[in-house]
């Protein structure tokens, strides 16, 4: 039976890095943007359009941009979003059934919650807002000059998108600990240092 670790994470908490390093430490497959790439194949929609939806930048009841064309919320739009939901479910399940893996984001915790053929661990990674601002500013690409105030706003915006999409898709509250098996607070913690300890939970 495959072990699947899903990672939900607040933006800037280091959750993605933790997922990547955890997969490395355990010798598991790692899926992050790969989920999106596979969804493109399943739907034949553009990656940009899918990204708009899954990052919660567009809401299904509001106008959505499809490849430079502006469409009002309509049966067509709702149909498209449902296709995306379906593709996401298919892709995640295929990945989970293929081998041991770590999957970051994409409501994987919800999609796999009743999948009897995998040993599922649903992790949520979080941190206080100050440490997330700090982590993001340290890791910003050179030339990206957001100040602290802008970064705070940006973090809140990204998380709002994630929460919105998760809640639309799952009807559950994003980040509510009852939806996860383990939650780790990474405030003031080095991901590199804790990842081996966390890996030992799954060995």
Q: Per rule CB under 8 A, is residue 181 in the interface with its own copies? A: yes
Among 183, 191, 193, 195, binds its own copies (CB under 8 A): 183
The yes or no reply on residue 115 touching its own copies (CB under 8 A) is: no
**Residue 178 binding its own copies, by CB under 8 A:** yes
Please, which of residues 118-177 interact with its own copies by CB under 8 A?
Answer: 124, 126, 128, 175, 177
Interface residue with its own copies among 21, 184, 191, 195 (CB under 8 A) is 184
Q: Residue 19 is encoded by which pair of tokens? A: 């997922």
> With respect to its own copies, which residue has the nearer C-beta, 115 or 128?
128
Radius of gyration in angstroms for the set of CA atoms belonging to the chain, rounded to a whole number: 17
- Judged by CB under 8 A, does residue 185 bind its own copies? yes
To the nearest whole angstrom, how small is the minimum distance from the Cβ of residue 187 to its own copies? 8
32 binds its own copies (CB under 8 A): no
Cβ(14)–Cβ(22) below 8 Å: no
First to last CA, the chain: 14
Q: How far is the CB of 84 from its own copies (least distance, A)?
A: 29
Nearer to its own copies, 38 or 109 (CB): 109
Least spacing, CB of residue 128 vs its own copies, in Å: 7
SS (H, E, C) the chain: CEEEEEEEECCCCCHHHHHHHHHHHHCCEEECHHHHHHHHHHHCCCHHHHHHHHCCCCCCCCCEEECCEEECCCHHHHHHHHHHHHHHHHHHHHHHHHCCEEEECCCHHHHCCCCCCEEEEEEEEECCHHHHHHHHHHHCCCCCCCCHHHHHHHHHHHHHHHHHHHHHHHCCCCCCHHHCCEEEECCCCCHHHHHHHHHHHHC
Does position 192 interact with its own copies (CB under 8 A)? The reply is no
200 contacts its own copies (rule: CB under 8 A): yes
Comparison of 129 and 146: residue with beta carbon closer to its own copies: 129
* List of residues contacting its own copies (CB under 8 A): 124, 126, 128, 175, 177-178, 180-185, 197-198, 200-202
């Amino acid at each position: 039976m495959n072990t699947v670790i899903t990672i939900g994470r607040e933006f800037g908490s280091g959750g993605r890095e933790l997922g990547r390093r955890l997969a490395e430490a355990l010798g598991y497959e790692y899926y992050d943007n790969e989920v999106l790439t596979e969804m493109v194949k399943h739907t034949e929609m553009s990656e940009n359009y899918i990204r708009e939806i899954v990052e919660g930048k567009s809401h299904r009841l509001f106008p959505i941009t499809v490849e430079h064309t502006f469409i009002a919320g309509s049966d067509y739009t709702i149909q498209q979003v449902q296709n995306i939901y379906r593709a996401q479910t298919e892709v995640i399940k295929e990945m989970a059934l293929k081998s041991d893996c770590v999957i970051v984001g994409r409501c994987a915790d919800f999609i796999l919650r009743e999948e009897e053929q995998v040993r599922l661990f649903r992790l949520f990674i979080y941190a206080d807002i100050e440490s997330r601002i700090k982590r993001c500013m340290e890791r910003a690409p050179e030339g990206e000059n957001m100040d602290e105030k802008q970064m705070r706003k940006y973090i809140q915006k990204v998380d709002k998108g994630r929460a919105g999409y998760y809640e639309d898709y799952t009807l559950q509250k994003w980040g509510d600990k009852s939806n996860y098996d383990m939650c780790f607070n990474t405030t003031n913690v080095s991901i590199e240092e804790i990842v081996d300890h966390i890996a030992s939970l799954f060995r």
